[in-house]
Amino acid sequence: MKTAVIVFPASNCDRDAAMALEKVTGRKAEMIWHRETEIPSDIDFVVIPGGFSYGDYLRCGAIASRSPIVKDIVAKAEKGLPVAGFCNGFQILAETGLLPGALMRNKGLKFVCRPERLTIANGNSRYTSAYGNTKEVVFPVAHHDGNYYADDKTLNILEKEGRVIFKYADNPNGSARDIAGICNDHGNVFGMMPHPERAIDPLHGGTDGLTFFKSIIESI
C-alpha cells in the first residue's frame, strides 16, 4: 500500500497527514511537491492536506487548484483513484469541481478552532466502514472559510445518494444542512473541513481519526 500527501506553499497539515497514513499502513507516505506534474502510477491513495495554500489569496484553494500536480490528480480521480482533502484540501477539491459546492466564510465571520462532535451520516462509505456501530466521532476544526454551500438541488442529491458522510452535531460555521464532509458520485473522492489527521493520538485528545484512515485503506 503506497500513499501520498500533496504539499503546497503554506500547507501546515501535510506532516500530520503523513503521520496518520504511516500509523495505519506501516509505510511512510510520499510527499509530493505541488510543482510536480504527475502522481506516481503505484500510489494507491492521495491526501490533500489542510493549511493556507498560497496564503488563501483570491479564494481559499483557488490558486492551489491550478497547480501542476492537481491536473493529474483530477485526471486520476476521474478514473477511480481515492483522494481525500481536509480543510484547505476540501476547498481545493471544491475549486477543481471534483466535489460540488463551495466553502464560504464562516457564518459568524470568525475563525473557529476547537474539537467538534460529528455524526456519521453514512457508515457504509469507503471512509467510514470501519467505524461499525459508532454514530459519533470528535475531530478538531480550524478554519475561517468552512461554511459549506450548495443549491438545494445539489444538497438533495447529496443526501438522497448517501454522499453526505459526516454532519456537525453543533454546526460551528453555518454549513448547509450541518454538512461536514461529502464524497463524489463514485465514492472515491472525499472532502471535509474537520481534521481526522489531528485525531490519531490520545495525547492530542482522541484517536477517532485513525478509524477514518483504516476505513479507506482497508477498502483499497
Catalytic positions, please?
87, 195, 197
How far apart CA 91 and CA 54 sit, in angstroms, is 13
Backbone angles phi, psi at 61, to 5 degrees: 85, -10
Q: How deeply is 114 buried, as exposed, middle or buried, from its count of CB atoms within 10 A (0-12, 13-18, 19+)?
A: exposed
Q: Where are the beta strands (DSSP E) in the chain?
A: 3-7, 30-33, 45-48, 83-86, 102-104, 112-120, 136-143, 147-149, 164-168, 179-183, 189-192
How far apart CA 201 and CA 15 sit, in angstroms, is 14
Helix-helix angle 88-96:68-77, to 10 degrees: 70
How far apart CA 147 and CA 63 sit, in angstroms, is 19
Largest pairwise CA distance in the chain: 43
How far apart CA 110 and CA 1 sit, in angstroms, is 40
